[in-house]
Amino acid sequence: MVDIATIAFYFGVIAYSVAATLFFLELARKDGAAPRAQWAPRLLALGGALHAIHVVTASLLSHVCPIDSLHFALSFSALIAVGAYLALRARLRLSALGAFIAPIALTFLVGAQFVGQGGEASVGVSRTLLMFHIAANVLGIGLFLIAGAAGSVYLLQERRLRTKKRVAAMGSRLPPLDALDTTTHRLLLAGFPLLTFGVVTGAVFSHQLVNPGGAEALRSLLGYATWVLLATVLVLRKTAGFRGRKAAYGTIVGVLCMLLVLLLYVVRANAGAT
Amino acid sequence: MIVVVGLSHRTAPIAVREKLVLDSAGLPDFLRALVQRPEVGEALLVSTCNRVELVAAGRSGFDSDLGQVAKACLEALDVHSPGIASHLYAHVGGTAVRHLFRVAASLDSMVLGEPQILGQVKEAYEVARKAGTVGSVLHRTLPRAIRAAKRVRTETAIGSGQVSVPSVAVDLTRDIFGDLSGHTALLVGSGEMAEAVARLLKAGGASVVVVGRTLSRAEDLANAVGGSARPWTALQQSLVEADVVVTSTSAPHYVVEYDMVNTARKARRGKNQFFIDLAVPRDVDPRIETLDGEFLYNIDDLSKVVSDTLSTRTREAASAEAIVGREAEGYDRWADAEQATPTIVQLRTRLTSSLEEELSRSLRGRLKHLPSEDRAALSKMVESAVNRLLHQPTIRLRQAALERASDSLSLEQLSAAIGELFAFDAEAEAVSVTENALPDADGDADDSGLSLAPKARVVASRS
């Protein structure tokens, strides 16, 4: 079992790395030919499968539920992002997003190794509620990661069309603006209830903690900021036609806030805090 | 080896090309009539707007007199369409193979890298196959030409992008909106290019609205492109509904002004809008580009994309030529080796028949008591013995066909010696290589060659 987890991890890292390289090379090509990175999504899918095997076998070995540990939760959210990307890719011509998703998945898979693997249950906090809190956050992070990637590619495509540079050279390798905008919006819509649940339960936990400390307060603050930013993007889109470039910027900033929250979790876990 | 005889946009103006029309219904009969000629064994015809070319091989496969085959093809085309002889060319042998490979790879097309030609070559092959005019040579040559063309398309960017302004405009529209169905295109004014863009948008699934200063003209244009017409006064409202706006009026001032777009933009609630301004002087105020979600390409912008694409294709042509060159060299080597085949076949036949005759005699005499299993084993042994005996001679003959080195015996010498030793007699002549019968390496046809069409160009190479 140990061998399977280790082999799946290393081969997963290799598959993600090669996929990320191929996606990047596809974007960097200057010959203007039609998209031809057929191997990159396949390798990403293979990486995702190995990633899943690693998460399952490693969590069985550690006797830890994947969503009850920050280590596996981080890894799991990237896996969800990979799965959602692969599901959306062909239907919405979103192949180029792989250039963002593959490195993110690689970072999360490798980065999770440096985070403590034990259960993260905090003193005075309902374990069941904590599991729902982490599950919602894991799913939400996965969806927001793709939303952030879609927003980033939107800005690239928009810049290309607006500056009229590399129009012929890029060909049709980047997804259509409307598809990117719609994807970003739908993922935000899908992830927002999960984020709301995560923020609310996080606030409850924060209130229940015996000694929350400054980092905990900052984490809560950033969590609220993420919620407010993404809520603003959604509300303004509905009321004031806030879409396209502005929505992409709003989404990216929101996702960055979310990543900061995650970073604080990682710092706390590595510092041995409860 | 093969010959390619015909004319193309490089040698004949459209007035001549249109004379050489072979309708699809009559094509099989034309090809069958051609292969009835004593010189021609196989034939197919590649016919496009820009070229009509006969690809043919002789009756003796790779050993045919290609000069005679080319002459027969020239004659057939001249009889079909008198007066075109001076525009015809004939490629023979290796040059014909390279030409065919280049044609299939769209390196000889009017628009470099255009994708249709490969399909047209495949279709020509299929028509000839159904007509029964394709034999062993073309069955082996055409798949190689198609493979070379596919390699060129997948390994180079020769087919990248679009090379016409309307196609580029529609590609950019797809970069913004993706699938065009459910989107509305507004055509303001008229003009050939604008109409072409509108047709492409319509074909992509967009609904087209035409607005013109003269309603009747707008209606005519709308009917032509499959859209609906509106009066000029509906322009502002149409701007609100349109995702793509194509303008091509002769107005000396901006027809679509900044304020109009800004107002429409608010009503569109931030949805993207693409302006394609094909007019000179321009119809659309360039300041609209500063507005969020508004994209504007004028005729210069679109022409630059076309020019960049053509530059890319031209740059890629060198790589494509290299691929075609390698594929043609591979074909040459294979065809050279094939020249040893008749001698090898004769040798095998002679050895097998002699040994089987002896075996049969023994099985009827001293060995008649042998059970059927042993008889089968003996037959197998004879077959194995022939294979072992011929292994080295086969390799040597194929090497001789490929190498043509001056310090070793040539295929012709070896074939003649084998023929003499084994008394192939009449067959010996058939297996000799027909190089002497072909036009020489300088490209001059021999005397018997192409007197029918004195002005026809003949390009030949080593077969």
Residue B344 lies in a domain: yes
Same domain, B151 and B236: no
Give the closest of B161, B289, B301 to A32, CB-based.
B161
Same domain, B12 and B149: yes
Q: Which residues of A fall within a CB distance of 8 Å from B309?
A: 32, 168
Active site residue B73: no
Q: Which of B14, B21, B29, B49 is catalytic?
A: B49
Nearest CA in chain A to B308: A168
- What is the predicted ipTM? 0.80
- Of B305, B325, B352, the position where a domain reaches its end is B305
3-state secondary structure of B54: strand
Nearest CA in chain B to A162: B295
Give the closest of A167, A174, A243 to B270, CB-based.
A243
DSSP conformation letters of B286-318: GGGGGSTTEEEEEHHHHHHHHHHHHHHHHHHHH
Residue B331 lies in a domain: no
Pairwise CB contact (< 8 Å): A32 & B160: yes
Describe the crossing of helices A2-28 and A39-62 by its angle, rounded to 10 degrees.
150
Pairwise CB contact (< 8 Å): B289 & A162: yes
- Could you report the per-residue pLDDT of A80-135, keeping only the tens digit for each? 889 888 888 777 677 788 888 898 888 888 877 776 555 445 555 677 777 788 88
Same domain, B204 and B289: yes
**Nearest CA to A54 among A123, A7, A89, A101?**
A7
**Residues in A 227-246 with any Cβ partner in B closer than 8 A:** 240-246
Q: Which two tokens stand for residue B12?
A: 């004949």
Same domain, B214 and B233: yes
Pairwise CB contact (< 8 Å): A245 & B177: no
Same domain, B191 and B253: yes
Pairwise CB contact (< 8 Å): A162 & B293: no
For residues B126 and B142, the answer to whether their CB atoms sit within 8 Å is no
Nearest CA in chain A to B315: A31
Domain ranges of chain A: 2-271
**Residues in A 87-106 with any Cβ partner in B closer than 8 A:** 92-93
Pairwise CB contact (< 8 Å): A164 & B304: yes
Most B CBs within 10 Å, among A158, A164, A242, to test the B interface: A164
Pairwise CB contact (< 8 Å): B272 & A36: no
Residue B323 lies in a domain: no
Minimal C-alpha gap between A115 and chain B (Å): 41
**Residues in A 8-37 with any Cβ partner in B closer than 8 A:** 31-34, 36
Q: Which residues of B fall within a CB distance of 8 Å from A31?
A: 156-157, 160, 312, 316
Q: Which residues of A fall within a CB distance of 8 Å from B268?
A: 241
Residue B96 lies in a domain: yes
Same domain, B119 and B23: yes
Same domain, B141 and B242: no
Most B CBs within 10 Å, among A39, A167, A180, A237, to test the B interface: A167
Tell me whether strands B457-460 and B244-248 are parallel, antiparallel or unpaired: unpaired
Minimal C-alpha gap between B244 and chain A (Å): 13
Q: Which residues of A fall within a CB distance of 8 Å from B318?
A: none
Q: Which residues of A fall within a CB distance of 8 Å from B271?
A: 241, 243
- Could you report the per-residue pLDDT of B172-209, keeping only the tens digit for each? 999 999 999 999 999 998 888 889 999 999 999 999 99
Residue B438 lies in a domain: no
Tell me whether strands B273-277 and B244-248 are parallel, antiparallel or unpaired: parallel
Q: Which two tokens stand for residue A176?
A: 């259509």
**A159 close contact with B: CB closer than 8 A:** no
Look up the CATH number of the domain holding residue B206: 3.40.50.720
Residue B138 lies in a domain: yes
Same domain, B139 and B197: no
For residues B92 and B100, the answer to whether their CB atoms sit within 8 Å is no
Tell me the pTM: 0.70
Who's near A234: CB < 8 A, 6+ residues apart?
A185, A188, A189, A192
Pairwise CB contact (< 8 Å): A161 & B172: yes
Overall number of domains in chain B: 3
pLDDT per residue of chain B (463 residues) written in tens, 0 to 9: 899 999 999 999 888 888 887 888 889 999 999 999 999 999 999 998 889 999 999 987 666 788 899 999 999 998 888 888 899 999 998 899 999 999 999 999 988 888 889 999 999 999 999 999 999 899 989 999 999 999 999 888 888 877 889 999 999 999 999 999 999 999 998 888 889 999 999 999 999 999 999 999 999 999 999 999 999 999 999 999 999 999 999 889 999 999 999 999 989 988 999 999 999 899 999 999 999 999 999 999 999 999 888 888 888 899 999 999 999 998 888 887 777 777 888 888 888 888 888 888 888 888 888 888 888 898 888 889 888 888 888 888 877 777 765 566 777 777 778 877 877 765 444 444 333 333 333 333 333 333 333 344 555 444 3
Pairwise CB contact (< 8 Å): A241 & B271: yes
Q: Which two tokens stand for residue B148?
A: 């070379």
Who's near A62: CB < 8 A, 6+ residues apart?
A69, A117, A118
Pairwise CB contact (< 8 Å): A161 & B159: no
Look up the CATH number of the domain holding residue B118: 3.30.460.30
Angle (CA) A18-A23-A28 rounded to 5° is: 120
Tell me whether strands B89-92 and B51-58 are parallel, antiparallel or unpaired: unpaired
Residue B353 lies in a domain: yes
Residue B348 lies in a domain: yes
**Nearest CA to B59 among B73, B90, B30, B38?**
B38
Most B CBs within 10 Å, among A26, A154, A177, to test the B interface: A177
Its domain, for residue B456, covers: 3-155+443-460
